[in-house]
Structure 1
């Protein structure tokens, strides 16, 4: 069929749920290659396999049958689940069932607890980036010498500006304090961190705290991070029902400063509205006295009917609203965008049914920040036809949430034009750090990025231990781009080298014109890294903005509405739909959708629209940890220079990211989060081990994705 991808680009493994690359159990004890512990998570009660064939469309089954035959030999030599019994405790068996990264030493410093806290001057990271065997454990002899209590005391963590300072008020309107209650008696609580990190805790493999301006010399344990939102005290005191399940030595120092906050009658919608009303002068377009206007953000949590909100999720959601909205003077509003899966429920015909549906599916404290939507509504808002799809590998309707999660987001932006930016967030995201600090620092960093080389930098993983500073990385990418440009001496297969301003110089049957302000003021060569500095990013993503044409990513050809008699349009994509999108970008996406009938798979559409219309798109290099001590030169080759399309980490090579703290199907992310919560994971951790060892974990601020389960055994 014309327009379909080549057979080698079809990956039958992608047709399964997240279990298709199940995260292998981490080995423990002394050997990094304890093969008896290399078992699929499918063997555990929490990670059950579902029948994958029940979820496959006819298209998927055909692709699965054809390509399974083609790659059978490949998979046979690199089995995902079985590892032969190790013959030596010191050396790994040369087993073809191990991926290369599985031969790297396991990093265990993450699990050193609060009894091992040290100051930044004393800290030595565990990972040597494969130059030598790292010291992974605090031995029994050293353990006996540890203080029974954390050697450091927790301190109030406050990343906000001094709202009352003359320096701030010189350029901004006054920030009025916000409260949880209408009576102005309950201020939003502070969180607490330790001014150090556990000895030998690992460093991230790629990304950087320092580059983004995020504090890295502190760590957060569960009482200081979640205690302000109800963790660690009873429901009778306004907390959640998670008590007496945790090692807790030293936690009383947090509550002594913090006290308890009663959340039983909090209405977050009313609290957010009161906060905005008190501070709306900060956001007025016309600012008095030439003061700077503060942009408004909507932080949209995409949830659905039937979603189960466990106690830990409630704590994280309260943290988001408190830190992003109430303590920032209303810069953010947190919203729940609730997908009503059953299209037969007449939510639009009856206000009563709408309210009943909402109240039956969302916890009471979030009712007034929730908005319902349905796929049937999207069919009316963006009516058919959507013709000429190149390859619908999902086998589902264009109006389905799986293929068009951006439709309700575009609609939401049209209903709320007062928001300058919308953060598209997912329910399986977690953050051990401070929400406002992370988001404000990322936004500021992106704003200061120059446009020159931005697409090319954003297509790669920055590995500081290999590339050096971000400035060095920038110049390296510029040199390589120039060399590629000279070698190609023409347009690349999927766009010019480098991308500079709007790119619509490809065969197409009609597109909207790009905004005038996205036309470059100079040529690429004449620019001295000045264009774009100070310009807000239209798109911020958290994985690289890659070119799908250079990968065998299975959804690369899910492009709709463009003339199939012409070549497929150039495009870019970022895995995981989590992103910050500007009102301008969402407006163009909306116009291209309803007027031109253009759309793409949701991880491609915002990036491709940004590329075509010359908008500012940025990959923010946030810190990402790995469970193994990768050799950085090899990591650079694997992630940035795959030799063949099927080796790309955004395709069959995605197994390389299983051991990361942030990817769409990472296993380490959820495992690390649950251990941080004090639960047992793969036979390790839990209360008894923490009490008999170095105490509860304390992690730097880290984004975790995905976290599919939080309720595990604590003992």
Structure 2
């Protein structure tokens, strides 16, 4: 695929962006070359380069740096100043700090080919409620619970009902045979329900997807429910209060909860007040699980982010009777945080940085806090020590037996409760015998058969390879496991019948295979901190730091960091500590799709190389950097993948989906866990109104001007009426150059003006701009263009 690279100059004296340079590069050439983009700008303007590939991800290159091969084999969730590249989620969100605007279009501004292989399925039922919850009134469920289930109050202000079409997620029964087969994993192996598919309306309609959006309301199937969710004032919802109230209604089901008030941040001074976590030890008290969403200061929350967060709150917490509780764990990235007990300062801080409905969910941390907790280790950055704040959170919240951790760029098209409940139950039933060996494989049903056949196959392969098998604790020097390790019932796994571990909760649940990284070319394999054995330290890895971790395992990680100052790279940490202490770890064989068809035997050869007990442990491992990109970068779940975002955007109706939906039903997907999904809406849902950098209410800045000698810079003025016109002008340019869709109702809603007024304003402006675009190009750069700019802004 060719990528058009267009440099646009937008000085004050011109009424239209003027192309200065144009180049064509193939994607492979970009990946295989070093392109020096340093150049001299006689005007002294700071250029901003944006590369927009087919899936919509954009890159901003810092002038004077070199674009390296590896930059197109990874992505970042936020700008990284130390690199030569910064990820930009959408060209229209670029703050213009100079007069230079560069927008990139792929293949002459064409959009992604619509993934029609994933859209041909037929629905065989009308819309129905998706209800995966247990039968709380059944004798079986009551026999396992200390108390009864009590329904909770929802965001609409009344008790939630599982029969409510408006507040429950819904879906369609469908012909599953019309849908492609996952290349890895399956639904059947862990009993994940795939009987219902969901389009974007049935997935998010209960969480405000139809709110105030004329387009979605026009396409909505009005025969299902009454669209009550669109009438909810979501900004006024206090999710923390709803979760607390839900817990109180169901408190008899759980252990006693701490009486301390709200914890705003991970202060070290809170440690003295903590009661240690106590295991349930087989009582009928049900475990509680914290669901942590990791975020950062400065994140721009889109409407889709909020639909996703609301779905997690409703499906996991409120409808389950407080079995789960959602928390937003936010990195302030060096920003100074208020003092511990200054509630007024915390209220103002949250109001400045978060949408109103998320403020009560926030728990903050920064690097200084991590240093206070772990002075013995010098490393605290997220990419190397992602679990440090999770460990601290668990210590300060002993009421949670487990912690699920998710990243903001993940999405799930199915029901969240079904996903986590089925994963937990599957992990609980896995026997310990040759568990680490099974975990190292990508499960491929076309090669391995059913899950039971796969287990039997591994059992038959392992005898004679016991030296490669993980059986019981594998301690590392520098940590004390005495009295806390889990020892197997017999010395050798082949002498155990396969019952050990069945019915035991897993201390670690992951979504991708586990592997020994030492002999691979995985880039973080040598990140070992303060262990006496250094590179000889035993260690394993599990990529993508989304997982469920027990309070016990988090406690051991915390203990050893405090006592010994030892550590490993993030994706080696929880699983290696499970290795040291002999704890149970399970990989979920989730269904993972690919955008191309594969021969199963060839796929197995490349995805599962190595002898028994050493799968993916050598240099030809699938985790060795850059060796298997044709597999890695085109799946629905991976540390970096294009296909996940491409499929999700099509499901949302973006790109080529609009043409498809003129003659076909909306894309209806089975439950698929997607990661990463970064580039969604161009419209920012939240930016504090006092910010001068508000990209919705404040227009792009022109070339910076210096104050006169002796005078201090003036304060930024409040947005004026002309600011809206400048913003619309900016959006129009981005739309023309990079194909960004402009959601006028969303812009109007967040500017506090009426949809009709904004639409009329934009229509008039667009007409004039389109006429100007068609005019004689010779007018560019002449003095009369100054008058033209005045004409635009007077409209």
TM-score range, shorter chain: 0.7 to 0.9
Cα gap change, 1:42 to 1:274, in 2 (>3 Å): same
- How many correspondences in the alignment? 565
For residues 606 and 689 of structure 1, what CA distance do their matches in structure 2 show? 44
1:365 aligns with 2:339: no
- Aligned twin of 1:651: 625
CA 1:43 to 1:245, structure 2 compared with 1: closer, same or farther past 3 Å? same
Match of 1:668 among 621, 643, 667: 643
Q: Is 1:417 equivalent to 2:398 in the alignment?
A: yes
Other-structure match for 1:601 = 569
By how many angstroms is 1:465 displaced?
Answer: 1.1
How has the CA–CA distance of structure 1 residues 353 and 547 changed in structure 2, closer, same or farther, with 3 Å as cutoff? Answer: same
Change (3 A) 1:106 1:457: farther
Cα pair distance change 1:668/1:420, threshold 3 Å: same
Shift of 1:512: 1.5
Alignment map for 1:173-188 (pairs within 5 Å)? 173-180=147-154, 184=158
Deviation at 1:248, TM superposition (A): 2.6
- Following superposition of structure 1 onto structure 2, how do residues 519-534 of structure 1 map, counting pairs within 5 Å? 519-523=487-491, 524-534=493-503
1:476 aligns with one of 453, 457, 467: 457
Equivalences for residues 438-457 of structure 1 within 5 A: 438-457=419-438
CA distance, structure 2, for counterparts of residue 600 and residue 311 of structure 1: 36
Post-superposition shift, 1:47? 2.1
Query: Which deviates the most, 431-440 or 356-365?
Result: 356-365
- SS of equivalent to 2:206: helix
Task: Label 1:342 to 1:352 Cα distance change in 2 as closer, same or farther (>3 A).
Answer: farther
* Pair 1:300 & 2:273 matched: no
Number of the residue aligned with 2:407: 426
Distance 1:561 1:166 in 2: 53
What's 1:283 paired with? 254
Q: Is this contact kept in 2: 1:23–1:658, CA < 8 A? A: no
Q: Does 1:48 align with 2:58?
A: yes
Change (3 A) 1:607 1:415: same
Whether the aligned pair in 1 keeps the contact of 2:433 and 2:496 (CA below 8 Å) is yes
**Are 1:110 and 2:80 an aligned pair?**
no
The CA deviation at 1:258 is 6.7
1:72 match: none
User: Counterpart in 2 of 1:153?
Assistant: 126
In structure 2, relative to structure 1, the CA distance for the partners of 1:178 and 1:185 (3 Å cut) is: closer
Q: Deviations over 1:548-574 (max 9, x none)?
A: 01310011000101125x652111111
Alignment of 1:185-334 (within 5 A): 189-197=167-175, 200-234=178-212, 242-245=213-216, 248=219, 251-256=221-226, 260=230, 262-264=232-234, 265-284=236-255, 292-334=284-326
What TM-score does the superposition give when structure 1 sets the normalisation length?
0.73
Matches within 5 A, 1:55-66: none
Counterpart for residue 69 of structure 1: none
Deviation string for 1:492-526 (max 9, x for gaps)?
xxxx421111012x6x3x21215456111123222
Aligned to 1:70: none
Q: What is the distance in 2 between the residues matched to 1:248 and 1:515?
A: 62
Does 2:657 match 1:685? yes
Q: In 2 relative to 1, CA 193–21 (structure 1 residues): closer, same or farther, beyond 3 Å?
A: farther
3-state SS, counterpart of residue 50 of structure 1: strand
Checking the alignment, whether the CA contact within 8 Å between 2:52 and 2:58 is kept in structure 1 is yes
TM-score by length of 2: 0.66
Q: Classify 1:654/1:586 alpha carbon distance in 2 versus 1 (closer, same or farther; 3 Å).
A: farther
Cα distance in 1 for residues equivalent to 2:384 and 2:420 = 27
- Answer whether contact 1:657 1:666 (CA < 8 A) is retained: yes
Deviations 1:41-84 (A, max 9, x none): 7445942223379999xxx99x99xxxxxxxxxxxxxxxxxxxx
Distance 1:23 1:334 in 2: 39
Could you tell me how far apart the structure 2 residues matched to 1:53 and 1:668 are?
Answer: 30
Q: Which deviates more from structure 2 when the two are superposed, residues 362-371 or residues 664-673?
A: 362-371
Which runs of 5 or more residues in structure 1 are unaligned?
1-18, 25-39, 65-104, 119-151, 235-241, 387-396, 486-495
Match of 1:380 in 2: 372
CA distance in 2, matches of 1:164, 1:227: 28
1:560 aligns with 2:541: no
- Whether the 8 Å CA contact 1:107–1:628 is kept in 2: the answer is no
CA distance in 1, matches of 2:51, 2:197: 29
- d(CA) in 2 for partners of 1:161 and 1:599? 40
Answer whether contact 2:528 2:535 (CA < 8 A) is retained: no
Mapped pair 1:503 → 2:474: yes
Among candidates 538, 554, 564, match of residue 507 of structure 2:
538
Supply the distance in 1 between the matched residues of 2:561 and 2:423 (Cα, whole angstroms): 29
The CA deviation at 1:247 is 7.8
Deviating more after overlay: 268-277 vs 402-411: 402-411
Contact 2:292 2:329 in 1 (8 A): yes
d(CA) in 1 for partners of 2:241, 2:514: 38
C-alpha displacement of 1:326 = 0.4
1:221/1:198 CA distance change after superposition, 3 Å:
farther
Measure how far apart 1:419 and its partner are. Answer: 0.3
Distance of 1:356 and 1:260 partners within structure 2 = 29
Q: Distance in 2 between matches of 1:414 and 1:516?
A: 17
Contact between 1:112 and 1:198, CA under 8 Å: does it hold in 2?
Answer: no
Aligned 8 A contact 2:246 2:318 in 1: yes
8 Å contact kept, 2:291–2:326: yes
* Alignment check: 8 A CA contact 2:484 2:581 kept: no
Given that 1:513 and 1:613 are in contact with CA atoms closer than 8 Å, whether structure 2 keeps it comes out as yes
Q: Distance in 2 between matches of 1:381 and 1:274?
A: 32
- Tell me, yes or no, if the aligned pair for 2:633 and 2:643 is still in contact at 8 Å: yes
1:286-315 deviations in Å (ceiling 9; x for gaps): 999x97221100000011110111011100
Check 1:358–1:41 CA distance in 2 against 1; reply closer, same or farther (3 A cut).
same
2:435 corresponds to 1:465: no
| Runs of at least 5 residues in structure 2 that lack an aligned partner in the other structure | 1-26, 33-49, 72-112, 257-277, 611-615, 683-739, 743-795
**Cα distance change, pair 567–23 in 1 and its aligned pair in 2 (3 A):** closer
Post-superposition offset of 1:259: 6.5
2:141 aligned residue = 168
**1:174–1:668 distance in 2 versus 1, CA, 3 Å:** same
Local SS of the residue matching 2:351: helix
Cα-to-partner distance string for 1:3-40 (whole Å, 9 max, x where unaligned): xxxxxxxxxxxxxxxx999999xxxxxxxxxxxxxxx9
